[in-house]
Structure 1
Amino acid sequence: MVSLSAKFRDLIWPKQYLENPKRFAWLYVAVFVICLLTLWRGGDALKQQQIQDLSVDTTEQLVQLTSVIESAIAKYQHMPTLLASNDRVRKALRDGLPSDINQLNRELEQINRITEASDSYIIDVNGSTIAASNYRLSTSFVGGNFSFRPYFKDAIKGKPGRYYALGTTSNRRGYYFSYPVFEGDSIIGVAVVKVDLTQFEKRFSNQAYDFLMLDPDGVVFSSSRSEWLYKVMGQLSHEELTRIAESQRYFDQAIETLPVVSKKAFEGGGDVIEMLDEVQDNLGNELVERHRYLAMSRPIKLLNFQVAVFVPLTAIEEQIALWRAIFAGGITITMLVFGLAHLRSRMLQERSDAIEMARHNQAYIREVIQHTQAGLVTLDGAFRIEALNPAVEKLVATPLSDLIGQPLSALFQVAGNDLLRWTKALQSDFDNAKDSLTTVQGTLSVKGESPGIAVEATICELQLPQRRSHLVTFHDMTERKRYEQEITSARHALELRVKERTSELEQANQLLRHEIGEHKATQQELIQTAKLAVLGQMSAGLNHELNQPLTAIRSFADNGLKFLERERYEQAKGNLQQISQLGHHMGDIIARFKVFARKGNVMHTPIDVQTAINGALKIMQPRFKEAGIESHVPSNVQVAVLADMVFLEQVLVNLLANAVDAILEASGREKLVSIEVNCEQDLVRIYVRDSGTGLSEESLNRLFEPFYTSKASGLGLGLGLSISQRIMDSMNGSLSAQNHPEGGAEFCVTLNTFQPD
């Protein structure tokens, strides 16, 4: 009878290879070389793919990082403008009184504490700091002269300034925003706010990547690694280095080059660079190692900076190296296994009888048991220990020769949840293929000693001639149990952090909603105040408008009584009809003012432009008559816009009221207000023009600033145009102003055309 091993041998090794060892050797070498080439090329492809995936993830992280930095810095750019508009700042710069300066110092300190800015300070026209938020510190800016800074030079020329530098007084890096302080048309000082960029270094210092913030010259201005500060990726020319040194941007810091060994563009985006990094060994000695990074950058448009992240590729390279080592080991083991199989086949070819083949199988099994890394135990038909390998003794750290012949339970105790499966496995005859292999968990201990070694046991039947035997394999699970415990602990810690963060976000959202509600309420009150201010200005004209019909009503009533006494009923009826018409007229005037004065939210509905213009003119007509102003208004505008009727009328009334004030201030000129409507495909523009002297350059630049007014003292709060602009923004429109080429000021109200379905 031909044995099963012989059939297996003939299947794997054809007869021509067994008969020609040289041919077998060449085949062995060819297969080995092909496997190695496949291993190397496969590793390169896998590395490329992992770097590609890392590039996609890094791009998303870079977008988030850029957004966080830009939004964090953007909130400070308007602070100098607000400081420059503060009356106390102008008074301190104008008068220079110590009491004013001390009060200003305290206000700046409080503003800094609220806004979390680094520093804010006020500079006079000579560049000397008169007040600062850090006036209490030894590094106070008070008394320091910063006229050499570009942000001061820009602001003193009347432009907003921006700059970045290493502070000469505080020795801290920061980004500066500045704005001129005006007194009329003159600049009397500069307001400056400094943003400390080290906050981002602390925030992103524990990330899986290193981040850099590069200035327009490519100098590292901020980084999560302090040794990279004030270094450049490339080379700077002598002229560039001289310019940087003369600007005192980095004080006395030397500009060096980052230790980049090589740089190669990556097709997925970014660059793969190799750098020299200084590390310390276990003995504290300084060593220089080469590390590779995936470098990607993105601009910060607000600052004209570049944000770059360097993601280490060490983990990917180690993973590829490990993969190659495992694969190479697998190839080697496979080749060795095939070689052993070839040798064994040659031996089996020389042995023909079943007894010698059985002896060989037993010797082979014992050899495997002795040299395998897993703990192996063979059992006889009664499930008693027949033999065991040194790996089992190594697991329990004690000799086990006295356990030979004893039940397996003397060495291995099954876990409670696997006891039923283990009992069924021992009772099975292993004839069913589904039951040929059983794996359970338990502990290895001699005579039940505690603690035992946690292992995973697998039992299977050995097909041996003329007898039944079983093989039990033990694998140490100590490390796996420890890893599972660590993963469980990490998951619990992560869940706790997520709950804490969620609670913080909910509190922040509640506070934000509260602030938004207060802002909307304040804006509605300002709009209502502006309405009432306009109504107050028109009260005299309204009085005149109502007195005329009241006088006529009295006359018609007196005459009507006389007609009734004389029984002239037709004439009396005519007088009553006149009184009724005059009453309707007065009611229409009062109703128009009541609608205009009511509060309400913006409702985007189709509004007839002609109706809105007529409503505003009815409100303003008394002032026009009182001032003797003529109006040119279209009478047949056939267009509708998406807006709110009351708020649109408020904007038009405010523009018409401003036009009346401008005409009254310009003596000796024609008194004329004109309204024109220009209809486009998607937009409608309403032009309100007066015949006044027009707007000055300063007025055009500051026209929509809150509390700014070009009228004489007491004639306005400076809120009308600012509120009108906000109303137009709420209706998705806009408000602009210019001087008309033929004279006078012209305001343009732009709204979206209503498009019916």
Structure 2
Amino acid sequence: MLPSPARMSEFFRPKQSLANPKRFAWLYVAVFFICLLTLWRGGDALKQQQTEDLAADTLEQLNQLASVVESAIAKYQHMPTLLASNDRVRKALRDGLPSDINQLNRELEQINRITEASDSYIIGTDGNTIAASNYRLSTSFVGGNFAFRPYFKDAIKGKPGRYYALGTTSNRRGYYFSYPVFEGDSVIGVAVVKVDLTQFEKRFNNQAYDFLMLDPDGVVFSSSRSQWLYKVMGELSHEELIRIAESQRYFDQAIETLPIVSRRPFDEHASVIEMLDQVSDHLGNELVERHRYLVMSRQIQMLDFQVAILVPLTSIEEQIALWRAIFAGGITITMLIFGLAHLRSRMLQERSDAIEMARHNQAYIREVIQHTQAGLVTLDDQYRIEALNPAVENLAARSLSSLIGKPLSELFQVSERDKACWLKALSSDLDVEREPLRLTTVEGKFHVEGADQDVAVEATLCELQLPNRRSHLVTFHDMTERKRYEMEITDARNALELRVKERTSELEQANQRLRHEIGEHKATQQELIQTAKLAVLGQLSAGLNHELNQPLTAIRAFADNGLKFLQREKYEQARSNLQHISQLGHHMSDIIARFKVFARKGNVAHTPIDVQSAINGAMKIMQPRFKETGIQAEFPSDVRVVVLADMVFLEQVLVNLLANACDAILEHGTGAKCVQIRVQQQQRKVNIFVRDSGTGLSQDALEHLFEPFYTSKSSGIGLGLGLSISQRIMDSMHGDLSAQNHPQGGAEFCVTLNAFELDNE
């Protein structure tokens, strides 16, 4: 078939135009990634430089802050000494007169107003406050006992005291200075000045950084952010937390950890931490955001405190992000400009290639049409012949130039089978959108006036995708050889069908004969099983006579005695004899019933049966022979296992194995005469083992044991069918029968059956 123009154009597509876009695309991607890497590295370098500059400025601010805090608190350290040397203080502590105490309260209030201290107060030796600068307030210290404070304990011992804590009365944080009030060599009280740290926090609230004051335990004692108070930057041990709680330094405040997510060192003086901060949006909702800070700290030697500054890196990060966005935008715009220029150049090149390809395609199509072996005919929108190639004239064996402009029906006649499909393809509505490249293939013949004979051809009609008009292309292929092959195949198929019918008839007759033979085989097998049963019964007949003779003798004795008891009117003894006779009759009936069941014919049934019942039944049949031969039988009496089998056939297998064990013991046994039966359950299988105390089986016997007519017994004993029949019975019950020599001597046979479970139902 002729290739489509789109497919043929692939042969003339310039290979350079396919390779160049890939090469330029990889070049653009490589340049883009290099620019991105440069942008990222440059941003990191700029960020590092700006952070270093910020660290230098922060170090200077930290030193200033530490100096301001140290000097601001240090100016209050001598105030308790001055108060302790005041005569009015000593007089108030010594005499305790209300007038002196009131005058002292007013003086302390005036001193506080001048020095801008938080509070000044005087404590007696018992720890009770007698005068305070805040005596007018509801939170006055007057009357409060502060004997538990370390600054009081140090001063009462005659030493200056220092302490920092959260006030239990005012609930305000402060730094405490204390000094003992002496009367001669005796301490009569303590003077205390409290410095409120809130004034420093307010002074530094509007800075571009946040600050922290950490006590020796690392607890935030003062901060520009209230939510950071009483938190630690590290971890405190359980003992440290208990010590802080017992000192009541922070009263009932819980000591928590600052929400620091990560920490990394920046240089020898600073580090960068990432911390979770709570912020509020425009609706007032609390949000949690991650912020990064540059942290620098310094020790305040006089207070034993550590002051730290946290400078947010948000402005630097935003500046770097803006710089990266601008630079990335510039790179993207530049890449787009170069890409558009390359795209325009490529479009111009492709347009030139398309024009050249169209010229080559037209020449290629003309050559293909003229030299193809398939006959090609183009039709107009009225299905009239427009053009045809020389291959059509070769098929028709004459010139067809006179058919140009005439309907296709004057050249081609479709077969009756495909006429409906052909008419449907020719009569399709021009306004209906048809599926692209839809093909319609039919069979027919060339019928040209003046030709010697018609030519069988196959025609394929397809619509040409032309931009300005509708046209069709019809492809013709010679079918003369194919028709001949089809006739040969049809004849061969008919001959093959005839042979298949004959062979099928022969197979059906063979199947009927085979089914008849299988039926006869099953009947023979049943007879063999019944014969094996009767053979076992024949072997047991002597023991059976002995087993029945004893009850009969006892019955005659009990009957004779009973007659005498009746004559003597000893009815109770006569009744006892009749009961014994009845019991012996039941015993004989049970023995005969087991032999009748064993001898019964039947088909194998798969039903749940009790293994213990099967063993008991086999033992009842074999018991007479065991007694006769003096063989001891050991078998379980409490087996609680149920298997899927047939009771009668399972008893027959067990009787066969027990009878063989008897024969082996009597023929080869030299020691104790014993037959053992044991039951073992393994997952979904049940094994019944029958073992004798004979000499065991030879290697030859183990290899041929289950073959028909094979026997290891002495000549004239047995037919060699018992084990073969037993194995077939086990196969019919979906079980298995195997034999081996027991390690302790004797032969052991194993009967394997499927255990019955509830899901088997």
TM-score by length of 1: 0.45
Q: Which has the larger radius of gyration?
A: 2
